[in-house]
């Protein structure tokens, strides 16, 4: 992978989660020079927030290592479809699953559906998170705090 010393422009989107297809330049999530050793052949990975960013990079690298991937996303359909396309082009299966994992029942259903699809979950990567940058902690609203905990911590129960 080549790295550039070029200054990257700030990326700002008013909604969360962000949409990767709207970023310019687009993030690099695969190293074309990476040589797989098939370490995950026959394994199934469930990755939350795998439509873009770190989640997409993990999903694609796991697929490159031989895993079939169950990709969770919130509502970023185009980003999720791009992740699926990349994974399937590697000869792996990819199942897309849209859900809001702020509630325990949604987390439980995600796991149940992944097991129904693939028979088991060998690898789980809890990757979803939100953040609300503020100048001072007092500026964080109660709604933002609640959503942060529901998203970043409660989904860890899956």
Secondary structure of the chain in HEC code, one letter for each residue: CCCCCCCCCCCCCCCCCCCHHHCCCCCCCCCCCCCCCCCCCCCEEEECCCCCHHHHHHHHHHHHCCCEEEEEECCCHHHHHHHHHHHHHCCCCEEEEECCCCCHHHHHHHHHHHHHHHCCCCEEECCCCCCCCCCCHHHCCHHHHHHHHHHHCHHHHC
Q: Which domains does the chain have, with CATH numbers?
A: 20-157 (3.40.50.720)
Exposed/middle/buried for residue 131 (C-beta within 10 Å: 0-12, 13-18, 19+): exposed
* pLDDT value for 21: 66
* pLDDT value for 39: 97
Q: Distance between CA 97 and CA 74 in Å, rounded?
A: 8
Q: What is the pLDDT along the chain (158 residues), one digit of tens a residue?
A: 445 555 666 656 565 556 666 666 666 678 888 889 999 999 999 999 999 999 999 999 999 999 999 999 999 899 999 999 999 999 999 999 999 998 889 999 999 999 999 999 999 999 998 888 899 999 999 999 999 888 888 766 66
* pLDDT value for 55: 96
Q: Distance between CA 72 and CA 126 in Å, rounded?
A: 10
pTM recorded for the entire structure: 0.81
* pLDDT value for 1: 43
């Amino acid at each position: 992978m080549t790295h550039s010393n070029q200054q990257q422009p700030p990326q700002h989107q008013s909604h969360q989660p962000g949409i990767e297809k709207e970023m310019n330049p687009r993030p690099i999530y695969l190293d074309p020079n990476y040589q797989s050793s098939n370490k995950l052949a026959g394994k199934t990975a469930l990755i939350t927030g795998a439509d873009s960013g770190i989640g997409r990079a993990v999903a694609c690298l796991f697929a490159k290592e031989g895993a079939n991937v169950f990709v969770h996303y919130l509502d970023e359909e185009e980003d999720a479809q791009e992740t699926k396309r990349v994974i399937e082009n590697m000869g792996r299966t990819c199942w897309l699953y849209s859900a809001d994992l702020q509630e325990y029942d949604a987390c439980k259903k995600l796991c149940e559906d992944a097991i129904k699809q693939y028979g088991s979950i060998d690898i789980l990567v809890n990757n979803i998170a939100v953040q609300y940058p503020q100048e001072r902690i007092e500026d964080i609203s109660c709604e933002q705090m609640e959503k942060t905990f529901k998203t970043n911590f409660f989904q860890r129960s899956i």
